[in-house]
Structure formats: C-alpha cells, structure tokens
C-alpha cells in the first residue's frame, strides 16, 4: 500500500527496530526483488554491517548499511514489517536478520524491489529523477513547480520527478479536499486555487503521516473509495470514476471544478 505516508510509517518502524543494529544474515526468498545486485554480493556487503538512521525521499526508503545504502521501493503491493523471530510470512521476499529481530520486505505483485548503492554509488541511478519530497513543499515551491508545467493537474502531481511521494490515492484525496478536478489544466489555476491545493496537500499529509496511512473513515474520500457506488462525503453527490493519466480517479463532479 505504498505512497509517501505508508513509506514514512515503515521508515519510523526501521528507525525504531533496526537502526543501530548489525545485520546477522540476509535471506533472499525471491531473487527477482534484487534489482541491481545479486544475492551473494549483497549478502557479503550486508553481513555484519551496522544499520544507520533510515531516510525517506518520496516513496523510497533509504537504509544506510555499513559502507553502502539499501534503497527500497514497494511498488503497488509491498510492505515492511518487523518480527522478533525469523518466521516467514506469506508474501515475504527478503529477510534482514538483525541481532535482535528481523525486518521483512514483502510484496505480492513483486513490482518493487531493492537496490544496493555501494559507497560512492549514485542513488539516482536507482530512484530516477525525484522532485522535492511532497511533505516539505512550501506554497511558493509548489507554485514554481506547477508554473513550469502544462497539461492536467493530476498527472503533474503524480510525476515523481516533479514532486516525490504522491500516488493515486493521495492525489485524489488532495484534489477532492481542494475542490479541483483531476483533469484541470495546471496552467489555468488561479493563485487562490494554487493556495487551496497547497493547503489541502499539507492538511492531508498532516493527518495521514502520523497514521502511516490515509484515514479510512469520516470526511475522507478514502472512506468511500472501495464502495461500488460511492457518494461524496461532503455533499452526497454520486462520485465519478474516470481514467486520468492511466489511473482510476475518484472525484466529485458537483464540487470539484
């Protein structure tokens, strides 16, 4: 379930459970999740390595390990969990066995993966170009980024090279709160609409980051996302589901302009 807010939750998990520990062993259950390194090489690099403070940029979790950096991406169905023992869970693809516990990298669809960046290596080779993390964006920065952009609003916000961390569900939530429709042309947004967009971005992240997830009840679009005939949690209008930028978008035709 990985967008910025979930990855931030896993970053906190790693900070609490893994930071400062040494790696006892690496268990690669599914070799395909290793994207730029083989299991042998990675095991040699990691064994005995001490884990540093985890960082996050957009949807990437960056875990310093010994002399290098482990970069984790979760695709559409990945997750990170911790257990005191080494028992494998259903969709585990890789285990990092630590001195006092075990980190589990799991994923059902295997769309994500792990990259190893040795000392002096180039992180951007793994992550591709990333814009500033969405959680750090000022209103002025957001205006500047969108000012250099044409086309529809939603694909712009989901472009990781423009702003890092926002995915389909976060963007739908932010646009719904800002009352802007996903297909709105970026170029025609007024100053007050841009301010509303930034305010909604901040509000959504402020509420969701501590949870490590989007709230799924109350006045949140997310609360009705999985219903067959969802209605707007604010005005009750029937919501629309359209493809925008290749993704299913949920939005309120009455309120979002």
Partner DNA sequence: GCTCATGTTCCCCT
Partner DNA sequence: CAGGGGAACATGAG
Tokens of 65: 């390990």
150 binds DNA (CB under 7 A): yes
6 binds DNA (CB under 7 A): yes
User: What is the gyration radius of the CA atoms in the chain, in angstroms?
Assistant: 20
CA–CA–CA angle 238, 243, 246 (5° rounding):
155
Cα-based distances in Å from 139 to 197, 199, 201, 202, 203? 9, 8, 10, 10, 13
Closest CA to 175 of 127, 125, 220: 220
120 binds DNA (CB under 7 A): no
Which of the stretches 44-52, 63-71, 94-102, 238-246 binds DNA when contact is defined by CB under 7 A?
238-246
75 binds DNA (CB under 7 A): yes
Q: Which of 73, 177, 181, 198 binds DNA (CB under 7 A)?
A: 73
149 binds DNA (CB under 7 A): yes
Q: Is 248 helix (H, G, I), strand (E, B) or coil?
A: strand
CA–CA–CA angle 81, 159, 31 (5° rounding):
40
247 tagged catalytic: yes
CB nearer to DNA: give 73 or 198. 73
CB of 2 to DNA, least distance (A): 6
Q: Which of 21, 22, 247, 254 is catalytic?
A: 247
39 binds DNA (CB under 7 A): no
List, as one string, the DSSP characters of 127-195: H-----BGGG--HHHHHHHHHT--SBHHHHHH-TTTSBS--HHHHHHHHHHHT--TT-BGGG--HHHHH
CB of 50 to DNA, least distance (A): 28
Which of the stretches 17-25, 116-124, 131-139, 146-154 binds DNA when contact is defined by CB under 7 A?
146-154
Q: Which residues are catalytic, by number? A: 2-3, 59, 247
Q: Summarize as ranges the residues that interact with DNA (CB under 7 A).
A: 1-3, 6, 32, 58-59, 73, 75-76, 108-111, 128, 149-152, 155-156, 158-160, 167-169, 241, 243-248
């Amino acid at each position: 379930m990985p967008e910025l807010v979930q990855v931030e939750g896993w970053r906190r998990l790693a900070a609490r459970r893994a930071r400062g520990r040494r790696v006892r062993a690496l268990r690669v259950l599914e070799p395909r999740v290793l994207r730029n390194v083989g299991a042998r090489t990675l095991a040699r690099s990691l064994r005995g390595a001490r884990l540093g403070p985890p960082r996050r940029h957009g949807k990437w979790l960056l875990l310093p390990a010994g002399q290098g950096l482990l970069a984790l991406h979760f695709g559409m169905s990945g997750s990170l969990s911790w257990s005191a023992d080494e028992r494998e869970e259903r969709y585990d693809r890789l285990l990092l066995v630590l001195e006092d516990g075990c980190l589990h990298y799991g994923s059902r669809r295997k769309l994500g993966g792990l990259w190893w960046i040795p000392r002096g290596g180039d992180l951007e080779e793994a992550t591709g170009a990333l814009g500033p993390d969405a959680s750090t964006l000022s209103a002025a920065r957001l205006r500047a980024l969108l000012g250099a952009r044409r086309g529809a609003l939603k694909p712009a916000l989901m472009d990781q090279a423009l702003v890092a961390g926002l995915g389909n569900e976060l963007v739908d939530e932010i646009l719904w709160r800002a009352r802007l429709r996903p297909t709105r042309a970026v170029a025609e947004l007024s100053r007050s609409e841009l301010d509303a967009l930034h305010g909604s971005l901040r509000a959504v992240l402020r509420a969701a980051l501590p949870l490590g997830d989007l709230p799924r009840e109350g006045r949140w679009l997310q609360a009705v996302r999985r219903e067959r005939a969802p209605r707007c949690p604010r005005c009750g209008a029937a919501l629309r589901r359209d493809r925008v930028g290749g993704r299913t978008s949920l939005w309120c035709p009455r309120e979002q302009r």
